[in-house]
Amino acid sequence: MRIKIKIAALVVSILVISGCSIDNSQPDEEMENSSMNQHMEEMHDMMEGHMSHDEVVPLNDSTGENELKIPAMLEPDNEEGIVYTVRAQKGKTEIFNGIETNTYGYNGSFLGPMLRFEKGDKVKIRTINELDEETTFHWHGLEVSAEADGGPHDAIQPGEEKVIEFEVTQEASTLWFHPHPHGKTAEQVYNGLAGLIYIEDDNSKSLGLPNDYGKNDIPLIFQDKTFDDKHQLNYKAAMNDDGTIGDTLLINGTLNPKLTVNKEKVRLRLLNGSNARNYTFKLNTGDSFVQIATDGGFLNEPVTLNEITLTPSERAEIVVDFLQLDTESDLALINEDGSILLPFEVSDENGVVSGIPGEMNDFSVTEEEMNLPVTKKVELFGMMDMVERNGKKFDPERIDFTQKQGVTEVWEIYNKPDMMGGMIHPFHIHGAQFKIVSRDGEAPPENERGWKDSISIKPDERVKIAIQFKHKGVYMFHCHILEHEDNGMMGQVKVE
Ligand SMILES: [Cu+2]
């Protein structure tokens, strides 16, 4: 009953929205009955598919029968002047035993390799599109010129290639790369296009943190999928305009993964690489762990947590101390529903002894940044394919904001609730790392006091961020629920 009232109220509210800001080619007074009926039908269809967060299909437990795959570290080319080659390609992957699933990948059939950069590196990447459709190569979280950023303006046609160059000027962090073609991002990521970037610097190498890749420094790319009865990824069938959610979790492309670790501190680099699902990660024993890094760098000090929530595209580095945990009991990483995401098998071997330093970084939001006036306002609103940003849909021909290179501005992002209460929108800005100044006027939680490029924004929440762009050009800012992005919850800032 309550739901019916909510739906009725929502129909009215959406009719108002669609009359005035989306379907604005047709003035309200001329709206005929037929069009009204059509709107009602569209609304009905929309409600059927709308994903409220109480209704998210739970994930199947991992049986732990497959050892977690670790993405290969990409070797540089020997070719003069080109450091790396990254190819987007189609392939077949054995996700289920003895069955080939059609997938996309970078330099392989599914997902991509890890690219490791050092601060100060001058990098050239030859990007090649071997798909049958256009794509782009977007370096999520990397502070590069807009030409290298791989937004929707940089489409590479099938069979074509593009060389990009940039210098790594930012601090140690875990970033990632994925496609960003106009209106096609969600499907390409869903099919498997995503890879990791590790940036290291003098600080990260001197902190003594676990850094043996694949042994005690483990990347975890979380992606939920729906497989059809032929074990294929059928995006069109699975697609939900409000964010495509699946019941099957893959970590680094591994179905039913488990992770074998030594008795030591293990660093987990968590990446929510899902189209739309949020994850609250915890240990099944309720034990705590420490978070050491946000999207774009180390926290000043480790923050002890019992759980951490990541919305799509957010990252966090955490350290779990398997020397301190009771390894006799079953240990696993679980989510908010208690679904088993990743069982751990702890070997009898002691690993290396590593500490976690008390001081890791010197991040701060300055007094000046705190007092800057808000000069850009972003309002996120809507659901399904009726999402909008500041009352508009993305238009590649329209520049929404301009900002001066090297000048810090404070943006305020507001998630305007709808009659259904609204939903969390993960908000991402290209080409820069930013600082959270406040959430609803309060200082952000301790584990968000570090560089960010993506943030979760709850319904009715107002978040202020301080952002500076190092490079010029046109950058995207958008909701990272990939279907919302494809449906136009995106704008462009021109940095001059
Ligand atoms: Cu959204």
Q: Is the pTM of this model over 0.75?
A: yes
Name the nearest CA neighbour of 305 among 296, 293, 297, 323: 293
pLDDT of the chain, 496 residues: tens digit per residue: 333 333 333 433 333 333 222 222 333 333 334 444 454 454 444 444 455 545 799 999 999 999 999 999 998 887 677 789 999 999 999 999 999 999 999 999 999 999 999 999 999 999 999 999 999 999 999 999 999 999 999 999 999 999 999 999 999 999 999 999 999 999 999 999 999 999 999 999 999 999 999 999 999 999 999 999 999 999 999 999 989 999 999 999 999 999 999 999 999 999 999 999 999 999 999 999 999 999 999 999 999 999 999 999 999 999 999 999 988 889 999 999 999 999 999 998 888 877 899 999 999 999 999 999 999 999 999 877 777 788 888 999 999 999 999 999 999 999 999 888 899 999 999 999 999 999 999 999 999 999 999 999 999 999 999 999 999 999 999 999 999 999 999 999 999 9
CA of 278 to the centre of ligand 1 (A): 12
Give, in order, the Cα–Cα distances in Å from 172 to each of 33, 74, 176, 309, 494: 59, 18, 13, 22, 27
CA of 283 to the centre of ligand 1 (A): 28
CA of 484 to the centre of ligand 1 (A): 5
Across the beta sheet with 265-272, what order do the strands follow?
Answer: 254-255, 248-251, 217-225, 265-272, 315-321, 289-294, 297-305
CA of 426 to the centre of ligand 1 (A): 6
- Other CB atoms within 10 A of residue 196 CB: 25
CA of 275 to the centre of ligand 1 (A): 11
Q: Are 119 and 298 in contact (CB under 8 A)?
A: no
End-to-end CA distance of the chain: 53
CA of 246 to the centre of ligand 1 (A): 17
CA of 150 to the centre of ligand 1 (A): 21
CA of 413 to the centre of ligand 1 (A): 12
CA of 51 to the centre of ligand 1 (A): 11
User: How does strand 490-495 pair with strand 401-403?
Assistant: parallel
190 is written with which tokens?
A: 């869903």
* HEC letters along the chain: CHHHHHHHHHHHHHHHHHHHHHCCCCCHHHCCHHHHHHHHHHHHHHHHHCCCHHHCCCCCCCCCCEECCCCCECCCCCCCCCCEEEEEEEEEECCCCCCCEEEEEECCCCECCEEEEECCCEEEEEEEECCCCCECCEEECCCCCHHHHCCHHHCECCCCEEEEEEECCCCCEEEEEECCCCCCHHHHHHCCCCEEEEEECHHHHHCCCCCCECCCEEEEEEEEECECCCCCECHHHHCCCCCCCCCEEEECCEECEEEEEEECEEEEEEEECCCCCCEEEEECCCCCEEEEEECCEEEEEEEEECEEEECCCCEEEEEEECCCCCCCCCEEEECCCCCEEEEEEEEEEECCCCCCCCCCCCCCCCHHHHHCCEEEEEEEECCCCCCEECCECCCCCCCCEEECCCCCEEEEEEECCCCCCCCCEEEEECCCCEEEEEECCECCCHHHCCCECEEEECCCCEEEEEECCCCCEEEEEEECCHHHHHCCCEEEEEEC
